[in-house]
């Protein structure tokens, strides 16, 4: 059988759902909102951004009443279906942060490190079991031209450079030419257990959570904000929006993001013999260094989660359940998986899925308020929000508090990304960028005119 047909068969045998959410101990659905309710703070969205916002709001002011409304189920979207790389970086990597916010880069790095420590502390304080492993992460070079970049990154970031032998001694792949191991900057988590655990912690602190309660609109007046939901109305003094890639309740925010789909495979658990072939005793998260990069890691039960590479945008900012499955991308991912780990020939995949990412043109979160400071939002994490969403929640709460704080004074908080143009320009722009990035990967990283123009306009993607 031809190789591509073999990969197609292999991936189509996998369950078409996120591995993380596919658990017998998934919590039962909470009741939707019917009728009216009021709270000091209403949070819309039950992903990490909304959950951290609700938790931190109650922690800082136990008198404040908080209702969180989720349109579907807690953690069903990006927060429960990601790679589980919980990174300290708030800026989608050091290079992006240094380029965009040079004057406050050190501050952002410090805040990011504090944020990761605070996540770990909160998990302990609230007894949230989510397989948090502070393994660090390794960027690997799989092409000769990437090695020098990694060496430079290791020097400027104070991280450990591994040559090909040292890298393969950590994780055994014939494709590795070098690696940089950032030991402190990343933890791995079980993202669905984190989302469920945060929701349970919120409820223990007195937050009311309603699921299957999509908010359909909001209006502000002198006394507060009214949020209409499918079967009810929420009245609030302040509203925090953590709605990510989904259409914002604030129309003016919509042009700043496009929904981009990212895809993941998970293997069957590795046998002890298979694991011994790969090594990976330190269980680091791994990412390769191309523009179209893979990210991968061991799950708590020693499967390999293998994601990334393709980034798919649908004309008109399309978001549909059907887009969570993309057989062509799964087959490509399987091909690349076996090229990386040929010794695992014969292993099957247990799960395949996709999810939507709130991509913005600066590749890290942005923030703002509307309705005279009563409505706040945080979004635009561009695929790196597992850790940064807690920072986003803190920023939103500070903005809604109306006082100047260290966070609200940051340029990163006060500035916005460049918005995307309307269709068909958005679609054409995204496709041209994807095509050019793939081409650069094939040509030793050399960027064409289009990418150089984007770089010059401050829109370049170098992650
Ligand atoms: C496949 C994949 C892999 C990823 N891997 C990583 C990774 O390894 N590391 C990392 O840092 N990041 C990763 N990310 C990104 C990360 O998952 C997100 O940045 C993060 O989860 C965003 O959290 P959020 O709460 O802002 O958004 P979401 O988790 O998307 O939550 C938004 C919620 O808002 C709800 N909502 C939207 N509109 C409404 C409305 N009108 N009314 C009520 N509810 C509404 C939605 O139903 C949803 O539950 C990945 C993402 C994907 C898709």
- Tens digit of pLDDT at every position of the chain (463 positions): 677 788 888 999 999 999 999 999 999 999 999 999 999 999 999 999 999 999 999 999 999 999 999 999 999 999 999 999 999 999 999 989 999 999 999 999 999 999 999 999 999 999 999 999 999 999 999 999 999 999 998 998 888 899 999 999 999 999 999 999 999 999 999 999 999 999 999 999 999 999 999 999 999 998 999 999 999 999 999 999 999 999 999 999 999 999 999 999 999 999 999 999 999 999 999 999 888 889 999 999 999 999 999 899 999 999 999 999 999 999 999 999 999 999 999 999 999 999 999 999 999 999 999 999 999 999 999 999 999 999 999 999 999 999 899 999 999 999 999 999 999 998 888 888 888 888 888 887 888 888 888 888 777 665 4
Q: Is any ligand 1 atom within 6 A of the Cβ of residue 78?
A: yes
Determine the distance separating the centroid of ligand 1 and the alpha carbon of 185, expressed in angstroms. Answer: 21
Cα R_g (the chain), whole angstroms: 22
Q: Is any ligand 1 atom within 6 A of the Cβ of residue 246?
A: yes
C-alpha distances (whole Å) from 241 to each of 31, 60, 205, 233, 395 are: 20, 19, 20, 16, 12
The pTM is what? 0.96
For residue 237, the surrounding DSSP H or E stretch is: strand 232-241
Cα dihedral 419/423/425/430 (nearest 10):
70
Query: How wide is the angle at C-alpha 391 spanned by C-alphas 389 and 395, nearest 5°?
Result: 115
Q: Is any ligand 1 atom within 6 A of the Cβ of residue 48?
A: yes
φ and ψ of 304, to 5 deg: -110, 125
Q: Is 367 helix (H, G, I), strand (E, B) or coil?
A: strand
Determine the distance separating the centroid of ligand 1 and the alpha carbon of 223, expressed in angstroms. Answer: 31
Nearest residue by C-alpha to atom 9 in ligand 1: 85
Determine the distance separating the centroid of ligand 1 and the alpha carbon of 59, expressed in angstroms. Answer: 23
Q: Is the dihedral of CA 143, 145, 147, 149 positive or negative?
A: negative
What's the rounded Cα separation, in Å, for the pair 227 and 252?
A: 17
For the beta carbon of residue 348, count every other beta carbon within 10 angstroms: 10
Q: Is any ligand 1 atom within 6 A of the Cβ of residue 80?
A: no
Nearest residue by C-alpha to atom 37 in ligand 1: 243
244, 257, 260, best to mutate for ligand 1 pocket (most atoms within 8 Å of CB): 244
For the beta carbon of residue 267, count every other beta carbon within 10 angstroms: 25
């Amino acid at each position: 059988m031809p190789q591509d047909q073999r990969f197609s068969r292999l991936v189509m045998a996998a369950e078409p759902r996120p591995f993380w959410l596919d658990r017998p101990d998934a919590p039962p659905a909470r009741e939707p909102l019917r009728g009216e309710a009021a709270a000091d703070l209403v949070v819309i969205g039950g992903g990490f951004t909304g959950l951290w916002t609700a938790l931190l709001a109650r922690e800082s002011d136990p008198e404040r009443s908080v209702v969180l409304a989720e349109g579907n189920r807690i953690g069903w979207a990006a927060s429960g279906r990601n790679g589980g790389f919980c990174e300290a970086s708030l800026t989608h990597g050091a290079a992006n942060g240094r380029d965009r916010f040079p004057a406050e880069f050190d501050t952002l790095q410090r805040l990011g490190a504090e944020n990761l420590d605070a996540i770990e502390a909160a998990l302990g304080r609230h007894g949230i079991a989510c397989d948090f492993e502070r393994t660090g992460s390794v960027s690997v070079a799989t092409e000769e031209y990437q090695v020098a970049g990694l060496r430079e990154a290791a020097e400027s970031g104070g991280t450990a450079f591994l040559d090909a032998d040292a890298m393969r001694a950590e994780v055994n792949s014939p494709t590795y030419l070098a690696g940089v191991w950032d030991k402190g900057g990343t933890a791995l988590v079980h993202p669905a257990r984190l989302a469920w655990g945060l929701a349970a912690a919120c409820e223990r602190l007195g937050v009311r959570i309603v699921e299957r309660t999509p908010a359909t609109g909001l209006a502000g007046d002198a006394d507060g904000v009214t949020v209409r939901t499918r079967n009810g109305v929420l009245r609030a003094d302040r509203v925090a929006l953590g709605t990510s890639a989904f259409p914002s309740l604030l129309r003016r925010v919509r042009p700043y993001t496009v929904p981009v789909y990212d895809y993941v495979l998970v293997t069957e658990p590795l046998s002890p013999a298979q694991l011994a072939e790969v090594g990976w005793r330190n269980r680091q998260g791994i990412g390769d260094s191309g523009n179209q990069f893979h990210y991968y890691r061991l799950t708590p039960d020693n499967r390999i989660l293998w994601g990334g590479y393709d980034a798919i945008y649908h004309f008109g900012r399309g978001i549909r359940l059907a887009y969570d499955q993309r057989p062509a991308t799964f087959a490509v991912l399987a091909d690349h998986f076996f090229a990386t780990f040929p010794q695992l020939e014969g292993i099957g995949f247990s799960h395949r899925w996709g999810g939507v990412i709130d991509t913005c043109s600066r590749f890290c979160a942005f923030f703002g308020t509307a309705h005279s400071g009563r409505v706040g939002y945080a979004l635009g994490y561009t695929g790196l929000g597992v850790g940064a969403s807690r920072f986003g929640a803190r920023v939103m709460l500070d903005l809604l508090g109306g006082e100047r704080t260290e966070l609200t004074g940051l340029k990163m908080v006060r500035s916005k990304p460049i918005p995307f143009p309307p269709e068909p320009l958005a679609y054409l722009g995204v496709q041209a960028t994807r095509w050019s990035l793939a081409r650069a990967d094939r040509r030793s990283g050399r960027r064409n005119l289009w990418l150089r123009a984007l770089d010059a306009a401050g829109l370049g993607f170098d992650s």
